[in-house]
């Protein structure tokens, strides 16, 4: 029988020194225990797409090998499934493995926004859109925590690059933070209550995240009502005393005795209230109490079942970008040549702290050969693969391709290109792979390209060479067999892009503002991130956000939307108009064409994945609320709905709109406060201030009518400037009187 761990009773027993020790880890992976008081140390370990638990003899930096665990697809692939139910099941499996390995908290998921495709850690993040990241982040947290273990939502916040990540200050305006970089965290916290939230390394507007009181306390706890523990990223704490005061609870990993001693000294000299330390210690004890039932269980997991789930997820997250002439699916492996070292040596996960030791590994070449004989040529060398001469390998591949009916070329980014700790060196594929593709296409036009990469790669320079392109991201340990099933039509592709594929790095929103300089990165693109940038600027892209093909087709009909105040109901009927079963991702976007601030052309607000048999139809419905129509008002510092026309769009991608409805929404008055520095235009637009100003601002009798140019110029002048001009009957005293009357209502 599990003994109850009484947090308050234990806390009351602890000395000041013991409470201070609880706010630090005891080593790289464990919290601090207090044997005298019956406080055990519990283990946390890396995720998020698989357990990375080091054995007891692990190296002190935590970089060595880990115990075998299922390597599920990375977030880039899971996100591209757009499948909340599937991601929940993956979370449940991750939770079972975490629990079976006596680990209290799996460190993930990551829901940071993909601000640029060059971020080295994008494979761990879900999307360039906060709704997708938030919904799927919520799903995986719920799944993991349903098994009695915790998660750590990361990296909070504005951690969108690896360059100088431990020092750089992300300079982001309030509206951009609220609309782009915070909503995914907010959605997960308010809907799933992760056991822990992990603060980021970087500074946010000049203050380290670990010492940012607004971020960790005012926003996370006071506004979002977060109930759990705030843990640092490993090495993100520079001074634990101000970090505790800001709302950090646990510094990881252990940093020696000095931080504990500094906390004790600060309490004793009065610079840190002991009540603040008590709150943090209580939260650490609460995490321990929460985790003990799971740690005391004797569970195991089904290795084979988890591998099959990993295969299902890898297939669901693969995106068919192109399929000219219906080249896919392949009828069989007869006459097929497989080219590319990635077919034999698969690229299936990223590098860094999330690297999993898989229970097994499916190579695409083996999976395809299991379906029949085929030719193979490696074509190029990759880091960690067999050695060879690229020129000789290319020549061999051309000979193999010439003799084949169809070529399947496995291309992608080498492992060293994508990792935690540094950003990608390029947007495109390596030169040796592009050269191989060109040479192969010259002798055989029937080329299928299968991509393996953790974030968008440029396809513009070579996509015309390949009638079919299948993007598989980093598909985990079962990705090889999943790809074989997709190529052969055993499964139908149903993934959709959660990030835009641009033509050039120069086209991307953050170009020129990434990765920053002199310790500062300016988010100059504001709210125009990802498809919001490309669509608002009407820029051509290789493949838009939300895009993905299938082996079947889908029709949309009966698109409708109605408003009840600021609640909007959206319905549509989706029909599988093809000959095979498949799944469509229905996307709902909102446009605000009359906004008084710059708003993106369209913003995703809801989605659903709908599986349909051939000929089957299904009605789908969505409910949008005021928040879905709102923008963050930089003057009022809150969400506002500005009344007027809104357009609800039902779509298959941000560029493939299938139906739209225009609605009139009654918003709220947004007049704001009038001051002497408010413009004449702002005064005249105000329902109280406008009539008052018009009555007071009487031009001299000898002044003729103003032309349009002068009227426009005056509209932009602050009222104070007009008063200082000394017009008859309107001076500073009169203006001050008007300001007071407006304030009084």
**29/175 same-domain check:** yes
User: Per the structure, how many domains does the chain have?
Assistant: 4
pTM of the predicted protein model: 0.94
| φ and ψ of 138, to 5 deg | -60, -40
**229/124 same-domain check:** yes
Dihedral (Cα; 130, 131, 137, 138), 10-degree rounding: 140
**532/432 same-domain check:** yes
**532/418 same-domain check:** yes
Of 196, 177, 287, 176, the C-alpha closest to 247 is: 196
For residue 323, CA distances in Å to 179, 367, 467 come to 35, 22, 6
Distance CA 575, CA 554 (A): 5
**519/590 same-domain check:** no
Q: Is residue 484 part of a domain?
A: yes
Note the Cα 400 to chain centre separation in Å: 41
Give the model's pLDDT for residue 296. 84
Close Cβ partners of 577 (under 8 Å, ≥ 6 residues apart): 552, 553, 554, 555, 615
Alpha helices in 372-458 (DSSP H): 390-402, 431-443
Domain-terminating residue out of 264, 295, 326: 295
Domain-terminating residue out of 665, 699, 724: 665
CA angle at residue 606 from 605 to 608, to 5 degrees?
A: 160
Q: Are 723 and 735 spatial neighbours (Cβ–Cβ below 8 Å)?
A: yes
- Residues 397-437: tens digit of each pLDDT: 999 999 999 999 999 999 999 999 999 999 999 999 999 99
Query: Containing H/E element for 499?
Result: none
Give the model's pLDDT for residue 51. 95
Distance CA 252, CA 88 (A): 28
Of 456, 449, 427, 454, the C-alpha closest to 324 is: 449
Dihedral (Cα; 417, 422, 425, 429), 10-degree rounding: 20
Residue 612 sits in a domain whose CATH number is 2.60.40.10
Of 30, 31, 170, 195, the C-alpha closest to 113 is: 170
Q: Is residue 2 part of a domain?
A: no
**200/264 same-domain check:** yes
Q: Is residue 303 part of a domain?
A: no
Domain that holds residue 255: 17-295
Q: Is residue 3 part of a domain?
A: no
**158/286 same-domain check:** yes
Q: Is residue 300 part of a domain?
A: no
For residues 388-417, one letter each, b for 16 or more C-beta atoms within 10 angstroms of the residue's C-beta and e for the rest, the string is: eebeebbebbbebbeebebbbbbbbbbbeb
Q: Report, as ranges of residue numbers, the positions in the chain whose pLDDT lies below 50.
A: 1, 60
Give the model's pLDDT for residue 702. 63
SS3 string, 1-45, reads CCCCCCHHHHHHHCCHHHHHHHCEECCCCEECCEHHHCECCCEEE
Residue 491 sits in a domain whose CATH number is 3.40.50.1700
**139/266 same-domain check:** yes
**577/721 same-domain check:** no
Which pairing describes strands 520-522 and 169-171: parallel, antiparallel, or unpaired?
Answer: parallel
Q: Are 560 and 570 spatial neighbours (Cβ–Cβ below 8 Å)?
A: yes
Q: Is residue 424 part of a domain?
A: yes
Distance CA 544, CA 547 (A): 6
Give the model's pLDDT for residue 700. 64
Give the model's pLDDT for residue 387. 87
Give the model's pLDDT for residue 669. 79
Give the model's pLDDT for residue 1. 42
Q: Is residue 225 part of a domain?
A: yes
Name the 3-class secondary structure at 367. helix
**37/134 same-domain check:** yes
For residue 434, CA distances in Å to 3, 7, 393 come to 62, 60, 13
Among 233, 249, 362, 507, which one carries the catalytic annotation? 233
For residue 477, CA distances in Å to 112, 123, 306, 519 come to 24, 15, 10, 38
Q: Is the peptide bond before 109 cis (omega within 30 degrees of 0)?
A: yes
**343/486 same-domain check:** yes
**585/733 same-domain check:** no
Distance CA 202, CA 165 (A): 6
Residue 188 sits in a domain whose CATH number is 3.20.20.300
Dihedral (Cα; 421, 423, 424, 425), 10-degree rounding: -110
Q: Are 717 and 680 spatial neighbours (Cβ–Cβ below 8 Å)?
A: yes
Domain-terminating residue out of 641, 665, 689: 665
Q: Is 233 a catalytic residue?
A: yes
Q: Is residue 532 part of a domain?
A: yes
């Amino acid at each position: 029988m599990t003994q109850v761990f009484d947090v308050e009773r234990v806390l009351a027993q602890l000395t000041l020194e013991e409470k201070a020790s609880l706010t630090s880890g005891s080593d790289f992976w464990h919290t601090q225990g207090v044997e005298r008081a019956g406080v055990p140390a519990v283990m946390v370990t890396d995720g998020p797409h698989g357990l990375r638990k080091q054995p007891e003899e692990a190296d002190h930096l935590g970089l060595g090998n880990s115990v075998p665990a299922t390597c599920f697809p990375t977030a880039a692939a899971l996100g591209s499934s757009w499948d909340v139910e599937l991601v929940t099941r993956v979370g449940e499996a991750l939770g079972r493995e975490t629990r079976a390995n006596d680990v209290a908290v799996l460190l993930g998921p990551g829901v940071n926004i993909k601000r640029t495709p060059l971020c080295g850690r994008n494979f761990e993040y879900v999307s360039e859109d906060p709704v997708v990241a938030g919904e799927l982040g919520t799903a995986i947290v719920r799944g993991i925590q349903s098994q009695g273990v915790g998660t750590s939502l990361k990296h909070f916040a504005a951690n969108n690059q690896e360059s100088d990540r431990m020092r750089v200050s992300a300079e982001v305006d309030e509206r951009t933070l609220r609309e782009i970089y915070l909503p995914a965290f907010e959605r997960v916290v308010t809907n799933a209550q992760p056991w822990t939230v992990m603060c980021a390394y970087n500074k946010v507007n000049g203050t380290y995240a670990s010492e940012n009181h607004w971020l960790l306390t005012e926003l996370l706890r006071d506004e979002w009502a977060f109930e759990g523990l705030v843990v640092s990223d490993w090495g993100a704490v520079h001074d634990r005393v101000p970090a505790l005061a800001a709302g950090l609870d646990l510094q990881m990993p252990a940093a020696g005795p000095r931080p504990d001693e500094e906390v004790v000294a600060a309490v004793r000299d009065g610079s840190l209230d002991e009540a603040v330390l008590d709150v943090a210690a209580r939260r650490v004890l609460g995490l321990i109490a929460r985790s003990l039932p799971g740690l005391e269980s004797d569970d195991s997991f089904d290795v084979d079942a988890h591998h099959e789930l990993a295969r299902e997820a890898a297939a669901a997250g693969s995106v068919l970008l192109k399929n000219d002439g219906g080249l896919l699916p392949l009828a069989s492996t007869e006459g097929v040549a497989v080219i590319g070292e990635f077919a034999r040596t698969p690229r299936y996960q990223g590098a860094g702290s999330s690297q999993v030791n898989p229970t097994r590994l499916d190579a695409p070449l083996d999976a395809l050969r299991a379906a029949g004989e085929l030719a193979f040529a490696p074509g190029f060398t990759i880091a960690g693969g067999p050695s060879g001469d690229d020129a000789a390998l290319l020549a061999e591949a051309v000979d193999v391709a010439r003799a084949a009916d169809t070529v399947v070329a496995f291309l992608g980014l080498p492992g060293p290109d994508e990792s935690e700790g540094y950003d990608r060196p390029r947007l495109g594929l390596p030169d040796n792979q592009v050269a191989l593709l060109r040479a192969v296409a010259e002798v055989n036009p029937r080329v299928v390209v299968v991509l393996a990469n953790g974030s968008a790669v440029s396809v513009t320079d070579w996509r015309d060479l390949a009638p079919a392109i299948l993007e598989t991201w980093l598909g985990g340990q079962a990705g090889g067999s999943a790809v074989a099933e997709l190529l052969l039509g055993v499964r139908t592709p149903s993934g959709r892009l959660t990030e835009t594929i641009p033509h050039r790095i120069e086209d991307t929103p953050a170009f020129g503002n990434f990765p920053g300089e002199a310790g500062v990165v300016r988010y100059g693109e504001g709210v125009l991130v990802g498809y919001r940038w490309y669509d608002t600027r009407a820029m051509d892209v290789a493949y838009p956000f939300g895009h993905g093909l299938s082996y079947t087709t889908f029709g949309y009909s009966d698109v409708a939307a109605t408003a009840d105040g600021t609640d909007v109901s959206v319905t549509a009927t989706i029909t599988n108009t093809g000959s095979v079963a498949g799944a469509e991702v229905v996307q709902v976007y909102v446009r605000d064409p009359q906004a008084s601030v710059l708003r993106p052309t369209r913003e995703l607000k809801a989605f659903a994945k709908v599986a349909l048999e051939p000929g089957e139809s299904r009605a789908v419905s969505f409910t949008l609320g005021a928040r879905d129509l709102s923008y963050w008002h930089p003057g009022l510092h809150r969400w506002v709905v500005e009344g007027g026309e809104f357009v609800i769009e039902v779509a298959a991608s941000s560029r493939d709109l299938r139906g739209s409805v225009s609605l009139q929404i009654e918003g709220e008055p947004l007049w704001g406060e009038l001051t002497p520095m408010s413009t004449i235009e702002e005064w005249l637009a105000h329902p109280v201030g406008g009539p008052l100003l018009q009555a007071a601002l009487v031009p001299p009798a000898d002044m003729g009518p103003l032309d349009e140019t002068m009227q426009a110029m005056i509209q932009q002048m602050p009222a104070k400037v007009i008063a200082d001009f000394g017009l008859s009957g309107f001076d500073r005293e009169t203006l001050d009187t008007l300001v007071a009357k407006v304030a009084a209502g």
